[in-house]
Amino acid sequence: MTPKQKRVLDFILGFVEEHGFQPSQMEIAQGCGFESLGTVQHYLRSLERHGLLARQANAKRGLQLTANPPCLPFAKGATLTAGTIAKGGTVTPPPLGANVTFLELPLVGIVAAGKPVHAFELADAIEVPSAMAGPGNVVYEVRGDSMVEMGIMDGDYVAVHPQSVAENGQTVIAEVNGSITIKKYQRKGNIIQLLPANAAMSPIMVTEDDEFHIRGILVGSMRFYRKWTGKSST
């Protein structure tokens, strides 16, 4: 982004902050010292291409800022109003004041995909699609790379359905000697193995001496990217 572009963006931002509504193109021109609307037009298009701004066609003052999207604008527990997309594609605005509670799951621990880390509890919450929600479900943040071959990477969030038994091949979140880890479950007779999905790592053998129990199995995973890098984040 060029300095000029940033200036225009900042102007819009400040204008909205001050007035409570979006500036018209003429106001932007005056505010930024442009003689021509064409110039404003140019910058608006430019910002739009960069994804920092969205415009509604032909709408007066129809600018919508997206710059540094307030990543988690709503505190946990906040209730928001939701809309539905009806079949056929029209957006049905929600009935006024119909508050829908967000689907949030508690974030209760950090899972080690590599070496087990000590289990600890967090008092936080993560929004999830309803398909990942369910009674008792919780979200873990993944630490380590042992599941990369299954597409679960360091920093990912996984939604977990609580249950204490598993079938072979399922991905489980399990506690082994006080440490919590995410692995594939494999059992033959009395021999339980926790298999990583990473060729560079070796399975964990669970013996009778180990304190072991399954916390739940994987029902979903999510990853958030920062706009300005290609990297995973949070």
Site for a second copy in 150-169 (CB under 8 A): 150-153, 156, 161-165, 167, 169
Contact residues for 122 (Cβ-Cβ < 8 A; gap 6+):
106, 107, 108, 109, 110
Contact residues for 101 (Cβ-Cβ < 8 A; gap 6+):
79
Nearest to 127 by CA among 66, 70, 76, 71: 76
Nearest to 162 by CA among 150, 153, 175: 175
Site for a second copy in 64-103 (CB under 8 A): 64-67, 69-91, 93-103
Annotated catalytic residue: which of 4, 36, 60, 146?
146
Closest approach, Cβ 110 to DNA, in A, equals: 29
Nearer to DNA, 187 or 223 (CB): 187
Nearer to DNA, 34 or 140 (CB): 34
CA–CA separation, 124 and 105 (whole Å):
8
Interface positions with DNA (CB under 7 A): 2-5, 24-26, 34-39, 41-44, 46, 55-62, 189-190
Site for a second copy in 23-42 (CB under 8 A): none
Provide the β-strand partners of residue 46.
none
Closest approach, Cβ 102 to DNA, in A, equals: 21
| 183 annotated active-site | yes
Token pair for 199:
């060729």
Closest approach, Cβ 31 to a second copy, in A, equals: 15
CA–CA separation, 134 and 18 (whole Å):
43
| 164 annotated active-site | no
Catalytic residue positions, numbered = 146, 183
